[in-house]
């Protein structure tokens, strides 16, 4: 049975993830939070397996046929989740590749990382209307990438079973906007409510 959106084993991953963020996360000017020492540059695969196990408790993975993420930093966690769930994963590319044939699903977003508008694309060859999709991403601030992935799922006409994010910058509002959409099953494992020179503060569990 899936927990409700208001239950908070979204944060019970616990403590291993939050401890790593507290110990190794860096807060840079502009409230930029770097977790690239274990999540999205150098990757702690054992931690990724624990994260996959936590998502498996939150979402009904028996319904899922594919995991969808965004290039590039979402790939490690999505790949390990997909392997643990026994399904393939697809990553949306941020530029057209010559080796993609046939049709494309496309969605534009503004990337704060690259400071420009980018187009995310997925081949219609690999995402089908009969698919049941779980979106997984490593990090979310404004929610632009996740919303682009949701848009691609909508274009395909497949079923969105949920959206899982490892780390959410709660003070930037992207996650709260998704929580207000009753049709979405959205969960973040660690929600950061404040990050400054005094450290990182997580949202309290409800």
15-88+127-196 folds as: Rossmann fold (3.40.50)
pLDDT digits (tens, 9 = 90+) for 141-150: 999 999 999 9
Average pLDDT over residues 151-177: 97
Distance of CA 140 to the CA centre of its chain: 7
pLDDT digits (tens, 9 = 90+) for 59-82: 999 999 999 999 989 999 999 999
pLDDT for position 7? 37
Query: Helix (H, G, I), strand (E, B), or coil: what is residue 77?
Result: helix
> pTM value?
0.88
CA 190, CA 192: separation in Å to the nearest integer? 6
pLDDT for position 96? 63
Q: Would you kindly state where each structural domain of the chain is located, as residue ranges?
A: 15-88+127-196
Confidence of residue 136 (pLDDT cuts 50, 70, 90): very high
User: Which among 178, 115, 114, 188 has a CA at the least distance from the CA of 151?
Assistant: 178
CA 197, CA 141: separation in Å to the nearest integer? 19
Q: Looking at the DSSP assignment, which residues form a beta bridge with residue 140?
A: 168
pLDDT for position 11? 40
pLDDT digits (tens, 9 = 90+) for 3-45: 434 333 434 446 899 999 999 988 988 778 989 999 989 999 9
């Amino acid at each position: 049975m899936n927990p409700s959106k208001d239950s908070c084993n979204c944060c019970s991953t616990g403590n291993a993830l939050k401890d790593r963020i507290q110990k190794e996360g860096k807060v840079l000017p502009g409230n930029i939070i770097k977790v690239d020492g274990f999540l999205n540059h150098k990757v702690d695969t054992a931690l990724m397996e624990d994260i996959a196990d936590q998502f498996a408790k939150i979402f009904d993975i028996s319904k899922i046929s594919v995991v969808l993420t965004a290039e590039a930093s979402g790939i490690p966690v999505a790949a390990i989740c997909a392997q643990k769930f026994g399904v393939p994963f697809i990553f949306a590319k941020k530029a057209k590749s010559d080796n993609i044939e046939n049709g494309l699903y496309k969605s534009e977003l503004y990337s704060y990382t690259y400071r420009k508008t980018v187009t995310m694309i997925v081949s219609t060859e690999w995402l089908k209307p009969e698919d049941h999709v779980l979106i997984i991403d490593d990090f979310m601030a404004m929610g632009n990438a996740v919303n682009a992935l949701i848009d691609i799922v909508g274009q395909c006409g497949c079923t969105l079973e949920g959206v899982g994010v490892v780390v959410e910058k709660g003070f930037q509002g992207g996650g709260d906007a998704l929580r207000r959409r009753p049709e979405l099953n959205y969960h973040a494992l660690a929600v950061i409510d404040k990050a400054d020179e005094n450290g990182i503060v997580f949202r309290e569990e409800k």
